């Protein structure tokens, strides 16, 4: 049953806050048990399957302003305020992202156990969950599922535009291996992306998990357009949630799936967080935990090129990339990524066509924070990405952007581009290039680790391996915020897997 307006407080066994990548998937799984009543509350709008706006379907429309929280963040001292896009609609950021569907690597999951003492989340343990959630017609059966709700399609070399084919060919010319499946046993190299885009439609979690059949379950209620202020906690036990208008929704268990900015903000307003920060805002301390203290995201620098007149074929979908280890990479790391994509509009280009090569540090060391600006649930949180806080991060982004320039001068890609538009030919020395990067940096849009998961000995852990908030009863967090450190690739598929894995471990779904 779906409802689109706030109603008086109601009872449920489980209330899930946020219908995004994790929340929609978790709702579908947890409500499979007809004896368990489930209430899903989403802050943004919800749409019938046949009335979804074009902006939530077409993958070239990213960070749709009509469905975005409008947050900003500090990136560096030279970039004190950059957009921090997050989806504000059913489907969350999966409804407004680029649709890339690459999983976290085995090495990423190994670090969870090695550095944070987390059990039950090794690659061998999560691979079956990835396979069961996925539906893809290609690739090795050992790595790919065929019947899950989450559709994945692999871009082939033949499907790429001629400039993107030239990008892949030049990457191979520089010695990088060609890779036709980044979700198999080898992730490094260059090739087309796997995407959750089918027939030109971005398959967000509201579409593929919250299907009309799921929504008709009598034990499921879906509410939209409701901002949650805080969790109602009495004597260390979560009893429900309170909306910004004061309505109480009581439940036997509360699950926050509001994302890496929203979930820590709700916890902080609930009195769960650093005691000193809470007291400064006049919030009673319920649990002194390091909420919002370990934010990580991928810094993303856009190099822009005008296309040569004979290479004007463009498509706006994210289509190809190069994934590699920097000179400063630790053993087994793939810590740099170069994304190759066209822009929806090349009108600013002197040739009428353009291609973007964006460099990301995918294993950053730098950590930022998410704090409250005030107790008002309508006030945006204070987000500090703190990019390039270490010399190693600065060195690696510089190496990546210089590699982009090498690619632009290597045939055949050199013949596909006419000129460099950003940062431009006037920026030549390493010092000038580093300054341009620090000024022009943006986020890849993969915030994690603000409510990190950890084992018993991890002093930074806010939740345990079952996503339960430490020291409290009846409160879990299930979304990208619990990832202990940002994976070395895009986060959407891994976030969905987290919801699926928790559903299996905790709810027997």
Which residue numbers are catalytic?
A: 446
Reading phi first (left if > 0) and then psi (alpha if -120 to 50, else beta), residue 115 is in: alpha
Structure tokens at 106: 């085995």
Length of the chain: 509
* Residue 305 dihedral angles phi and psi, to the nearest 5°: -130, 140
Q: Are the CB atoms for 9 and 239 separated by under 8 Å? A: no
* Residue 233 dihedral angles phi and psi, to the nearest 5°: -120, 125
User: Which residues have C-beta within 8 Å of that of residue 202, sequence separation ≥ 6?
Assistant: 56, 57, 58, 59, 94, 95, 97, 99, 196
**CA–CA gap between residue 332 and residue 357 (Å, rounded):** 24
**CA–CA gap between residue 255 and residue 468 (Å, rounded):** 9
Q: Report strand pairing: 72-74 vs 442-443.
A: unpaired
Biggest CA-to-CA distance, the chain: 69
Residue 442's DSSP bridge partners are 300
DSSP 89: S
User: Which residues have C-beta within 8 Å of that of residue 395, sequence separation ≥ 6?
Assistant: 326, 327, 328
- Nearest one of 265, 270, 240, 242 to 255, comparing CA atoms: 240
Sign of CA dihedral 327, 439, 390, 84: negative
DSSP 461: -
- Angle between helix axes 106-116 and 123-133 (nearest 10 degrees) is 140
Q: Are the CB atoms for 172 and 190 separated by under 8 Å? A: yes
**CA–CA gap between residue 211 and residue 225 (Å, rounded):** 19
**CA–CA gap between residue 505 and residue 509 (Å, rounded):** 8
| DSSP string covering 158-221 | GGS-HHHHHHHHHHHHTTPPB-S-TTSS---EEEEPEESEETTEE--HHHHTS-HHHHT-TTEE
User: Which residues have C-beta within 8 Å of that of residue 46, sequence separation ≥ 6?
Assistant: 2, 4, 19, 89, 90, 206, 222, 224, 225
- Nearest one of 64, 388, 10, 363 to 204, comparing CA atoms: 64
Q: Are the CB atoms for 59 and 99 separated by under 8 Å? A: yes
């Amino acid at each position: 049953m779906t409802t689109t307006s706030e109603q008086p407080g109601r009872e449920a066994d489980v209330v899930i806050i946020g219908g995004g990548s994790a929340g929609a998937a978790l709702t579908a799984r947890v409500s499979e048990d007809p004896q368990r009543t489930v209430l899903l509350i989403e802050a943004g709008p919800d749409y019938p399957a046949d009335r979804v706006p074009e902006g939530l379907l077409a993958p070239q429309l990213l960070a749709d302003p009509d469905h975005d929280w409008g947050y900003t963040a500090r990136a560096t001292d030279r970039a004190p305020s950059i957009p921090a896009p997050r989806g504000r609609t059913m489907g969350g950021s999966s409804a407004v992202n680029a649709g890339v569907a690459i999983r976290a690597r085995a090495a990423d999951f190994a670090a969870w156990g090695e550095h944070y003492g987390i059990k039950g989340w090794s690659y061998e343990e999560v691979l079956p969950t990835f396979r069961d959630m996925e539906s893809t017609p290609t690739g090795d059966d050992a790595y790919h599922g065929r019947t899950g709700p989450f559709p994945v399609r692999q871009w082939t070399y033949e499907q790429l535009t001629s400039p993107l084919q030239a990008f892949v060919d030049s990457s191979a010319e520089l010695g990088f291996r060609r890779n036709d499946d980044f979700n198999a046993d080898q992730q490094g190299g260059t090739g087309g992306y796997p995407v959750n885009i089918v027939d030109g439609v971005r398959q967000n979690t509201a579409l593929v998990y919250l299907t009309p059949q799921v929504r008709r379950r009598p034990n499921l209620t879906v509410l939209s357009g409701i901002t949650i202020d805080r969790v109602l906690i009495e004597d260390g036990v979560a009893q429900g949630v309170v909306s910004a208008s004061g309505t109480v929704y009581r439940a036997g268990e509360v699950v926050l799936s509001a994302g890496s900015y929203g979930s820590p903000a709700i916890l902080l307003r609930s009195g769960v967080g650093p005691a000193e920060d809470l007291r400064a805002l006049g919030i009673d301390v319920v649990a002194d935990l390091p909420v919002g203290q370990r934010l990580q995201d991928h810094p993303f620098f856009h190099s822009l090129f005008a296309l040569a007149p004979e290479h004007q074929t463009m498509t706006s979908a994210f289509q190809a990339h190069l994934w590699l280890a920097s000179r400063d990479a630790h053993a087994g790391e793939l810590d740099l990524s170069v994304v190759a994509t066209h822009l929806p509009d090349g009108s600013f280009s002197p040739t009428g066509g353009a291609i973007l090569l964006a460099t990301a540090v995918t294993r950053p060391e730098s950590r930022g924070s998410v704090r409250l600006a005030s107790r008002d649930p309508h006030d945006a949180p204070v987000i500090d990405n703190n990019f390039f806080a270490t010399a190693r991060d600065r060195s690696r982004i510089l190496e990546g952007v210089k590699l982009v320039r090498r690619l632009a001068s290597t045939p055949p890609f050199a013949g596909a581009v006419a000129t460099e538009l950003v940062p431009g030919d006037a920026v030549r020395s390493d010092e000038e290039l580093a300054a341009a990067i620090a000024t022009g940096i943006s986020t890849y849009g993969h915030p994690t680790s603000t409510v990190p998961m950890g084992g018993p000995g991890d002093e930074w852990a806010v939740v345990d391996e079952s996503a339960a908030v430490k020291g409290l009863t009846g409160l879990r967090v299930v979304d990208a915020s619990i990832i202990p450190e940002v994976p070395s690739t895009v986060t959407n598929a891994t976030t969905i897997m987290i919801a699926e894995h928790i559903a299996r471990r905790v709810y027997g779904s």
